[in-house]
Chain A
Amino acid sequence: KAGVTQTPRYLIKTRGQQVTLSCSPISGHRSVSWYQQTPGQGLQFLFEYFSETQRNKGNFPGRFSGRQFSNSRSEMNVSTLELGDSALYLCASSSGQTVGYEQYFGPGTRLTVT
């Protein structure tokens, strides 16, 4: 089985711009979660989508949004970028159908905001 893929792997944007990141989960997985990883804050949960519906949401401003398509692929959008949004954005997929399921992570998208 192919793993979780994320595109692009690297991205450089300017303050005020917006960005869209993409995640393709493992085949058959219906849950996709997004995390922001920074040296100072560690891994912070952004949101989770399951069967095209947002099921959980972390404490991030509304500039961060996401969606999931019928094929379970997910996109994350950040509008009005700030310097503090520079981070590694990780996507994780899981079956999401039973409790205690593990999450499988993609390689991440490294976003740099200048």
Chain B
Amino acid sequence: AQSVTQLGSHVSVSEGALVLLRCNYSSSVPPYLFWYVQYPNQGLQLLLKYTTGATLVKGINGFEAEFKKSETSFHLTKPSAHMSDAAEYFCAVSAANTGNQFYFGTGTSLTVIP
């Protein structure tokens, strides 16, 4: 089975500063990796995904993530934080050997300080 660890349940950054949210995964087969964002009282919205090919993936709202197989990581970054980025972020993994069931991390709450 797969699993995901998100380091840091709460992250605070100043507006305009770099956003870095950490995600490490465990998978015995090639993983498919996803980042989702959740705003209060809403469902999850897909930010970006990695399946195959280019390891640097660009998503919506200026976010990007890099798949590093050697480090089993898929960290989410954004060069300059905006107030509207304040939300809960979830990393997820799936793989063909588990019927593409999604395994989510416990989430990271991002606070942006003006």
Contact = CB atoms under 8 A, between A and B. Distances in A.
Interface stretch (B15-23, B41-49, B60-68): B41-49
Interface residues of B, number: 25
> Chain A at the B interface: mostly helix, strand, loop or mixed?
strand
A83 interface: no
A43 B106 CA distance: 7
Nearest to A105: B43
Nearest to A57: B101
Q: Choose among B34, B90, B104 the residue with the greatest number of A CB atoms under 10 Å from its CB.
A: B104
Contact of B99 (A4, A56, A103, A105): A56
Contact of A56 (B101, B105, B107): B101
A100 B100 contact: yes
A90 B92 CA distance: 15
A108 B44 CA distance: 9
A107 B32 contact: no
Q: Considering the complex of A and B, which 3 residue pairs feature the smallest CB-CB distances, nearest first? A: A105-B43, A100-B51, A100-B32
Interface of B: 32, 34, 36, 41-46, 49, 51-52, 90, 94, 96, 98-107
Interface of A: 4, 33, 35, 42-43, 45, 48, 55-56, 58, 90, 92, 96, 99-108, 110
